[in-house]
Amino acid sequence: MSGSVLFDIPGPRARARNRVFNAVTALVIVLVIWVVYSRLNAKGQLTAAKWEPFLSSNLWTTYVLPGVQGTLTAAAVSIVLALVLGFVLGVGRMSHALPIRWVCSVVVEFFRAVPVLVMMIFAYFLYATYDVFPSKHLALAGVITGLTLYNGAVIAEIVRAGVNALPRGQSEAASALGLRWGQTMRSILLPQAITSMLPVLISQLVVVLKDTAIGYQITFLEMVRQGTQVGASYGNYIPALIVIAVLMISVNFALSSFAVWLEGRMRRSRRGPAPLKAEPVTQGAFGAGAGGSI
């Protein structure tokens, strides 16, 4: 969206005024930076001693890298399992058999309505009580379960949106050829829907990566927990959390930019179906749906 439709092309006076606004804004930014700087400085947060530990390889190998590994493991396993679950639920929701459709709808809406943390806590204690996993992997299993159930439900909605966005002629032609519902889904609709879903699935991966941090609360060893560990052992919470945030933001920002770029590229191309918007799907059966995936 270009802002130009909202205001006229600025004339000399408007340009002068905009320059003043620009300067005032810059001044405010400088002021804010100065206040933040002086507050941090007053508490000694900017001294070399607080930041130097990040130059030692020990800090990275002991704390940060295991956290990165935990985050990536949980995210990778969860997104794969969520894709499987999402396809099953999404196709189930479009089934012609009423009971299947009904069950899948209830499951999807339920998992979108319940907070991920609540599911993680529940799964964690469930596995602990019944000794499903070795205690070393309890937290990982809890995190993966929570993320899979929630994102599976979201992906089910994405799958449905992807199939619904295809031209009606596709399924009409398939039934004119005598294909059954399952054949139509498998060989006509889903392959096209997957292509159009690609950008929004990448955006969903950002959500999964961010949400691994919720595992902090069931003692899962991921990046944010490791950041607080660094803070605790070196007495530098603010630098530690800033470093973790920078790592997280750069990866997630790159992924979201890639998703937007891919969407634009697919929209311009003439081949294949138009992509879904690279934003997490938020509509649902209950009017507003049970929550966006933010």
Between 4 and 57, CB nearer to another protein: 4
Q: What are the residues binding another protein (CB under 8 A)?
A: 1, 3, 5-8, 10, 14, 18, 21-22, 25-26, 29, 39-40, 43, 45, 110, 113-119, 121-122, 125-126, 129, 206, 210-214, 216-217, 224, 227-228, 231, 237-238, 241, 244-245, 248-249, 252-253, 256, 282-284, 286-294
Min dist CB 115 to another protein, Å, is 4
Q: How far is the CB of 149 from another protein (least distance, A)?
A: 11
Q: Identify which of residues 155 and 214 has a Cβ nearer to another protein in the complex.
A: 214
Residue number with CB closer to another protein (43 or 265): 43
Residue (95 or 217) nearer to another protein, CB: 217
The least distance separating another protein from the CB of residue 37, rounded to whole angstroms, comes to 12
Task: Report the nearest approach of another protein to the CB of residue 186 (Å).
Answer: 31
Nearest approach, Cβ of residue 56 and another protein (Å): 21
Nearer to another protein by Cβ, of 34 and 125: the residue is 125
Q: DSSP states of the chain as a string? A: --GGGGSPPP-HHHHHHHHHHHHHHHHHHHHHHHHHHHHHHHTTTTSHHHHGGGGSHHHIIIIIHHHHHHHHHHHHHHHHHHHHHHHHHHHHHT-SSHHHHHHHHHHHHHHHHS-HHHHHHHHHHHHHHHT-S-GGGHHHHHHHHHHHHHHHHHHHHHHHHHHHTS-HHHHHHHHHTT--HHHIIIIIIHHHHHHHHHHHHHHHHHHHHHHGGGGGGGT---HHHHHHHHHHHHT-HHHHHHHHHHHHHHHHHHHHHHHHHHHHHHHH-SSSPPPPPSS-----SSTT-S----
